[in-house]
Amino acid sequence: MNVELPFAPVDTIIRRNAGDLRVSADASEELAKRIQEHGADLAVGAADRATADGRKTLMAGDFGVETVVEKEDLELPVAPVDRIARIGIDDRYRVSMDARIALADILEDYADNVARAATTLAHHADRRTIKAEDIETYFSLFQ
């Protein structure tokens, strides 16, 4: 599976949670992969809700979002999030701009939670660098 999400914004999200720790490139890559998997799964559920409502366009509400944040307030870029949303759904669905922004917001919160936990795990391992193994450990413990 190709990772659609650029690593730079994911790295920024990890760093804003890392405090004085360094972040390995592998950690950013691993988290980007996990974000993509989660986003594709969420889009499948949203597509099921849209289908149940007789729609072919995914809306923010299909992701459980009532209030959509400003696009400029997000670290994750919307275009790759749109591609992520389309991984698990077929081409007959459209994804509204509000749905893209809502999904990006959800995925950014998800990434923040994982990054905070990875920071804790790196501290616990008495390391000064967050590594991919910290991201993997989080998922093996909490998913």
5-40 pLDDT, tens digit per residue, is 999 999 999 999 999 999 999 999 999 999 999 999
* Cα(69)–Cα(72) distance, integer angstroms: 8
Residue 67 lies in a domain: yes
Nearest CA to 125 among 117, 55, 106, 76?
Answer: 117
Residue 2 lies in a domain: no
**Domain extent for 11:** 7-142
pLDDT score for 74:
98
pLDDT score for 1:
62
Residue 1 lies in a domain: no
Task: Give the Cβ contact number of residue 12 at 10 Å.
Answer: 14
User: How many separate domains does the chain show?
Assistant: 1
Q: Is the pTM of this model over 0.75?
A: yes
What's the CATH code of the domain at 23? 1.10.20.10
Residue 64 lies in a domain: yes
